[in-house]
Structure 1
Amino acid sequence: MKSLRNFLNRIKPNFEPGGKLHTFHSVFDGFETFLFTPNTTSTSGVNIHDSIDSKRVMIIVVLALMPCLLFGMYNVGHQHWLAIGETDFPFWQLMAYGFLAMLPRIIVSYAVGLGIEFMVAQWRKEEIQEGFLVSGMLIPLICPIETPLWMIAVATAFSVIFVKEVFGGTGYNIFNVALVTRAVLFFGYPSKMSGDNVFVPVNPICGLGNGTPVDGFSGATPLGQIATNVGDTLKITNVVGQDISSWDMFLGLIPGSV
């Protein structure tokens, strides 16, 4: 890390005012303060004067989301294995399947959201804000696994621009960016955000999970089953028609958003 710090110190003058790359000062500052805690401190207006910036706080929140992400990956694989009629659930294969299913969504979310924030920071000649480090992780988690990537990109761009940046950026947004992204998806593309075909992946990924859905397969969520139930008897089942236990519902081994 010391060699990286020395390298950044050598090239930093190029990005300072008067340097040949000063136009990209915001980009350099964003990467530098992401890798290293800044050595500047607040001088007024706050109670604690230290160099712990919001990037450090946001990274802690992202780390706190990791258990949700890891379990979501496992459940994506678990639901797929159920759908193709498998009775053996190899942990690492399920995790790998879920990872490969989630990775493109995470990349698209961060690429679009951070890309817009980088461009706006350059345009305004301001520091790059860090709030999207959390939003970029939340967006894939609160969407169905089968949501098309281009829809995630469009909804993320709309939310970041019209909910956040037009109001001044991080801390000035009037609504939660991730939830508005989901709302845009829900009202703009309802068929891809609800129903029986969006919560359980049925296609193999990179050779993992080969198989076809079993007869009687249904991707209906427990809430969907409750909403469409007719009569006095309610029976909640998994994707292959087996009763869902209270333990499965407690753990979250049920169809739904990641």
Structure 2
Amino acid sequence: HVRDAMDLKRMMIMVVVALGPCFFMALHNTGYQANLAISAERGTPLDNWREGVLTALGRGHDVGNFLDNMALGALYFLPVYAVTVAVGGLWELLFSVVRRHEINEGFLVTSALFPLTLPPTIPLWQVAIGISFGVVIGKEIFGGVGKNFLNPALTARAFLYFAYPAQISGDKVWTAADGFTGATPLGALGTFQIETAAPDTSVLTGYSWWDCFLGFIQGSMGETSTLACLIGAAVLIATGIGSWRVMAGCVAGALGMSTLLWLFGSASSTAITVLPPWWHLVVGGFAFGTVFMATDPVSAAMTDVGRWWYGTVIGVFTILVRCINPAYPEGIMLAILFGNVMAPLIDYFVIQSNIKRRAARYAAG
């Protein structure tokens, strides 16, 4: 029998294929949210070059028109993606020349993931700075693909969040319409103070659970749809690229911690603290981070048992950050970076436990 080992290039291409549904939602939902705000007269078209291109294409702002939504979404997402590929690719080329090796295919995934984690209104110069930090500091400074201990795309986003918070968080960045302000579901839940019983989540956020599951909500361009992420997860698991243990650990950790807070949380806290567990799985970037970021084979735990613990730590930490720090309702980014740092230690203790157990078994025999 011939064993067909999947090489790095095919692996990276398969990850990009798995991201296909998220790319689709990035285009459609970005345009849909902007056209929805404009149609409802809660905002006006942004006065920039995109309106001229949209008019030249014969498209408008009809929220019920699929092509109008896709065209407007593409005019916001594609420039972000192009800048990411151009600037990040330039750094990859520079380091490949200095180190005298080929450009690694790993950048395909980084350049696909990073734009999906950004809001549509992000300035393009900040995209360039962010991907530069992610590629150089998050990966190349450690020796390149396979030697970095942090996820480069997540490192880039974390840098932008702490360096330019006004352009990557808040209520004004999620919808590409001038004069429109609106919080993401997590943002609304994180700031609403409850006094007695928690209000209905759908009423408070303005979205139903199914809206959040399908992805027709405000948020980062490619992170809103849990359904799109589940399709990607099926592809990654079927091809053996993404670890189902990590994904299951993240879900188990998040459900466990959110259930404890839901059952025993204080009645005088924010609404997100007593949010039903099943809501935590469909709001924010939890699904996207669990499927595409936490499963990064380079920065995740290596052992099977370690992957369970690694995923569980990320799930628990995500809920803790969401609930304990109302100023930062989205916790998946910090949770995964924390998990990346802890992964070698988790593997160490798992291996040491196996060694001790085996030694005890031999001694008893």
2:102 and 2:108 map into 1 onto residues whose CA distance is 15
Aligned residue identity for 1:53: D
2:26 touches 2:116 (CA, 8 Å); kept in 1? yes
Q: 2:206 aligns with which of 240, 243, 250?
A: 243
Partner of 1:131: 106
The answer on 1:97 being equivalent to 2:72 is yes
Partner of 2:254: none
Partner of 1:170: 145
1:185 and 1:57 map into 2 onto residues whose CA distance is 28
1:125-146 CA-partner distances (Å, limit 9, x unpaired)? 1121111100101101011111
Structure holding more helix per residue: 2
* Structure 2 gap segments, 5+ residues each: 41-61, 222-365
Q: Which is higher, the Rg of structure 1 or of structure 2?
A: 1
- Pair 235,218 (structure 1): closer, same or farther in 2 beyond 3 Å: farther
Aligned residue identity for 1:148: P
How far did 1:85 drift?
Answer: 2.5
Give SS of 2:14's match. Answer: helix
- Select between 187-196 and 80-89 the one with higher mean Cα deviation: 80-89
How far did 1:176 drift?
Answer: 0.1
1:118-162 CA-partner distances (Å, limit 9, x unpaired)? 111111111211111001011010111111111111111112111
1:150 and 1:79 map into 2 onto residues whose CA distance is 24
The answer on 1:186 being equivalent to 2:161 is yes
1:237 and 1:84 map into 2 onto residues whose CA distance is 23
Partner of 2:7: 53
Aligned residue identity for 1:99: A
Partner of 2:20: 66
Give SS of 1:144's match. Answer: coil
How far did 1:48 drift?
Answer: 5.5
- Pair 103,256 (structure 1): closer, same or farther in 2 beyond 3 Å: same
Matches within 5 A, 1:10-25: none
Aligned residue identity for 2:166: S
2:202 touches 2:209 (CA, 8 Å); kept in 1? no
1:49 and 1:222 map into 2 onto residues whose CA distance is 45
| Runs of 4+ with >6 A deviation | none
Partner of 2:309: none
1:225 touches 1:236 (CA, 8 Å); kept in 2? no
Aligned residue identity for 2:136: I
How far did 1:236 drift?
Answer: 5.8
The answer on 1:231 being equivalent to 2:206 is no
Partner of 1:8: none
Aligned residues: 197
The answer on 1:222 being equivalent to 2:185 is yes
1:243 and 1:219 map into 2 onto residues whose CA distance is 10
How far did 1:255 drift?
Answer: 0.4
1:74 and 1:225 map into 2 onto residues whose CA distance is 23
Aligned residue identity for 2:211: D
* Structure 1 gap segments, 5+ residues each: 1-46, 204-212
Give SS of 1:128's match. Answer: coil
The answer on 1:77 being equivalent to 2:31 is yes
- Pair 138,242 (structure 1): closer, same or farther in 2 beyond 3 Å: closer
2:28 and 2:137 map into 1 onto residues whose CA distance is 34
1:136 touches 1:178 (CA, 8 Å); kept in 2? yes
2:63 touches 2:69 (CA, 8 Å); kept in 1? no
The answer on 1:120 being equivalent to 2:95 is yes
2:185 and 2:162 map into 1 onto residues whose CA distance is 21
Give SS of 2:146's match. Answer: coil
1:115 and 1:242 map into 2 onto residues whose CA distance is 41
1:222 touches 1:237 (CA, 8 Å); kept in 2? no
1:129 and 1:99 map into 2 onto residues whose CA distance is 27
1:166-191 CA-partner distances (Å, limit 9, x unpaired)? 11111111100000001000000011
Aligned residue identity for 2:68: Q
Q: Which has the higher contact order (CA 8 A, sep 6+)?
A: 1
The answer on 1:159 being equivalent to 2:134 is yes
1:195 and 1:236 map into 2 onto residues whose CA distance is 20
1:63-91 CA-partner distances (Å, limit 9, x unpaired)? 11111011121110110111112574100
1:24-81 CA-partner distances (Å, limit 9, x unpaired)? xxxxxxxxxxxxxxxxxxxxxxx9676x531222111111111101112111011011
How far did 1:242 drift?
Answer: 8.9
TM-score by length of 1: 0.70
Give SS of 1:156's match. Answer: helix
